[in-house]
Amino acid sequence: MWWITAGRIHGVRSDEPRDRVITPTGPATTWLGYDAPREALLWVAGGTLQAMPESGGAVGRWRGCTGSCAAAFATSDDATFGSSPTR
């Protein structure tokens, strides 16, 4: 389970049920999600969709937004997140 508090992603695991900081995100984080096919945490912060493998590792910038990041992004399983998509 993951959540954002004070500009950081926190998480707990079933095998280690203590709150731990996963990564800093900054104060402008507006969305947090999980991409099951990629096994990655996703979040929107400062106009950028960012991702990090669930197992840890480097944070990657996936997409930048020229306008509001409220627009939907398609995922590999054709799901969407954000506001209603305009397909």
Rounded mean pLDDT for each run of 10 residues along the chain, 87 residues in total: 88 87 83 87 84 85 64 56 44
Its pTM stands at 0.68
Residue 83 in domain:
no
Give the C-alpha separation, 38 to 8, whole Å. 21
Domain that holds residue 25: 2-66
**pLDDT at res. 56:** 82
pLDDT mean across residues, the chain = 76
Determine the 3-state secondary structure of 76 from DSSP. Answer: coil
Q: Which of 62, 43, 63, 54 is nearest to 1 (CA)?
A: 54
Residue 46 falls within a domain, yes or no?
A: yes
Number of domains in the chain: 1
Tell me the two tokens of residue 52: 């990090």
DSSP strands (E only) in 1-87? 2-5, 8-13, 16-24, 29-35, 40-45, 48-53, 60-64, 73-74, 80-81
Does some domain include residue 16?
yes
